[in-house]
Chains A and B, each alone.
Chain A
Amino acid sequence: MADGRLQNQGFGILNLGILYSLLFILFSLGCQRSKAGITVAGSTSVEPFAELLAEEYMSHHPKSHIYVQGGGSTAGIEAVITRAAKIGMSSRPLLGQEKNLYSVTIAKDAIAIILHPKNPIQDLSLDQIREVFSGKIKSWKELKGISRPIVLVTREEGSGTREAFQKFVMGKEDISLESLVQDSNGAVRQVVASNPSAIGYISLGLVNNQVKALKISGVEPNLTDIENGKYTLVRPFLFVFNGEPVGETKSFLEFVLSPLAQKLLLKEGLVPILPKIAKE
């Protein structure tokens, strides 16, 4: 009886040993993979596009691995400074000390003001949008719409999209504290898509048929009007590096700036930085 128990214990330790060695093997496999790859981290606005570019790049270079993570512009820039990531994605211009980093604009993005598709309103002026988001206009009725209170949806403090919206639309006014706050473009879109009296703002590339993009003083957010400067809510998407990129990182950057990749971004709703492609 006692012998049996001892034997059982022996098995327990043996099992534990096997478990640990398996874990160890898994970890070392993981390490090997990430050693060969490039980590791209940062803005959740840039993330879906970077993922697309990474997939395309990897299909041309089967031996490369590019890992794309979100986290936010600031987190991405910080990751580049601490060398936790090779490339940082930012949807806001670099500030203060960050300007010492090497940065490249990979595309431009427009910000669309979005409504529920059932909302009859099609067109507002920048002043009207500012008054809506600062909480001065509280009901759609005041804008000749349905008689329901306006539900504001905004991004969290520090978000690149919010910063751009603040700069382009709000100016010195504050976004109302009554606004719902969501922490990604997708979440803002989800809330607006499920609430007929909501208004929000997201990256134009992420507008889909669940929501509709508002015209601003008659100007629709489309490529032509962004290119010719009529639609003014446009910001740069940056790739940030700690020093000039070399090797694999450099080759990925070259790919991103190539006509092929820029065409891909155009198809996804971004404004390419090569004017030639935009005109085609």
Chain B
Amino acid sequence: MQVKEKIIEKIFLLIALSSIFILGLITFFIFEEGLPLILKIGPKAFLLGERWIPSKGLFGIFPMIVSSFWVTFGALLLGIPLGLACTIFLSELIPPSIGILLRPAIQLLAAIPSVIYGFWGLIVLVPLIQNYLGGPGLSIFAGSLVLGFMILPTIITISEDSLKALPPSYKAGALALGATHWQTIWRVLIPAAKSGIVTSIILGMGRAIGETMAMIMILGNAVKMPSSFLDSARTLTTNIGIEMGYASGDHRQALFATGIVLFFIIMALNILAIFLSRRRVD
């Protein structure tokens, strides 16, 4: 019996390690394919170059880095207030009968494939923006709107969990001191769950930066520095997604190099999120 358990233990350990092994393998290949190009043209020309014309050997991804952050910022502008309001309503104010419907609905929001979000944005939002706000319609504004909805489930589920994890004594104490329900929520519960909420926002940000399919369909993918929210733009992920099919040689390596930049951004966000959620436990 003992031996059998040991064997099973080892097998499970091996399976768990294989996921780390695969992560390592992916990392290795992204760097192996992408790094030579960054070194060839120089990190500065790559990261801060403003022109991306692969057929002429120009691989500047600065407009895409900026666009990625514009789109993400726009998504957070919509996602944070909506997500927080939804969380407060779900955890504190909701009548149980609605909760039964609402929670699965929000979880379903996360299960909808991103291509569907993209399609909806393309068919519904883009013509509206084109007719009422001007510009090509395929724009950062449209992308931010769609992404804002896509990151809602991430923000809501994680920040609701962190509100639920608070000791009940916080709420009871505040109410006993004579605070109203709203004062309790706003002055006691939200500040106490702050690190969890910030973590949820950072993870939402990671989701927004990484989104590809929907953005290819909505952003218009123009390779230029955006100057307004109604401009078309190309993010780091869509640059890889849209050009991978036909790229070869240096061009292909430059796409992997774009992946390296993306890798660092996502790593930084995740480390920040882990760091913040650790602090919550302590």
Binding site for B on A (CB under 8 A): 44, 70-75, 78, 151, 156-160, 166, 174, 177-183, 187, 190-191, 194-195, 198
Is B65 among interface residues, defined by CB-CB distance under 8 A? no
B246 touches A181 (CB 8 A): no
**A148's closest neighbor in chain B, by CB?**
B134
Interface SS of A by simple majority: mixed
A158 touches B222 (CB 8 A): no
Knowing A174-B53, A180-B232, A194-B127, the reply to whether A158 touches B246 (Cβ < 8 A) is yes
B221 touches A180 (CB 8 A): yes
B246 touches A180 (CB 8 A): no
Complex alpha-carbon distance, A194 and B246, angstroms: 26
Complex alpha-carbon distance, A110 and B243, angstroms: 23
Is B104 among interface residues, defined by CB-CB distance under 8 A? no
A159 touches B137 (CB 8 A): no
User: B224 — which chain A residues lie within 8 A by C-beta?
Assistant: 177-178
B221 touches A72 (CB 8 A): no
Complex alpha-carbon distance, A80 and B251, angstroms: 20
How many cross-chain pairs have Cβ atoms below 8 Å apart between A and B?
78
Knowing A75-B246, A157-B53, A183-B245, the reply to whether A177 touches B223 (Cβ < 8 A) is yes
Q: 13 extra interchain contacts, Cβ-Cβ under 8 A, other than A156-B245, A183-B243, A198-B136?
A: A74-B246, A74-B248, A75-B246, A151-B136, A157-B55, A158-B248, A178-B222, A180-B138, A180-B220, A191-B138, A191-B220, A194-B126, A195-B130
User: B138 — which chain A residues lie within 8 A by C-beta?
Assistant: 180, 191
B223 touches A158 (CB 8 A): no
Knowing A158-B54, A158-B247, the reply to whether A181 touches B136 (Cβ < 8 A) is no
A72 touches B245 (CB 8 A): yes
A180 touches B245 (CB 8 A): no
Binding site for A on B (CB under 8 A): 51, 53-56, 122, 126-127, 130, 136-138, 216-217, 220-224, 232, 234, 241-243, 245-248, 251
B234 touches A181 (CB 8 A): yes
User: A160 — which chain B residues lie within 8 A by C-beta?
Assistant: 246
Complex alpha-carbon distance, A194 and B55, angstroms: 30
Complex alpha-carbon distance, A166 and B55, angstroms: 11
Complex alpha-carbon distance, A181 and B246, angstroms: 14
A181 touches B245 (CB 8 A): no
Complex alpha-carbon distance, A156 and B56, angstroms: 14
A182 partner, pick from B51, B130, B137, B221, beta carbons under 8 A: B221
B246 touches A159 (CB 8 A): yes
User: B51 — which chain A residues lie within 8 A by C-beta?
Assistant: 177
Report, nearest first, the 4 A-B pairs whose CB atoms are least far apart.
Answer: A158-B246, A72-B245, A181-B221, A72-B246
User: B56 — which chain A residues lie within 8 A by C-beta?
Assistant: 174
Knowing A71-B245, A74-B245, A174-B53, the reply to whether A156 touches B221 (Cβ < 8 A) is yes
User: B222 — which chain A residues lie within 8 A by C-beta?
Assistant: 177-181
Complex alpha-carbon distance, A194 and B221, angstroms: 17
**B222's closest neighbor in chain A, by CB?**
A180
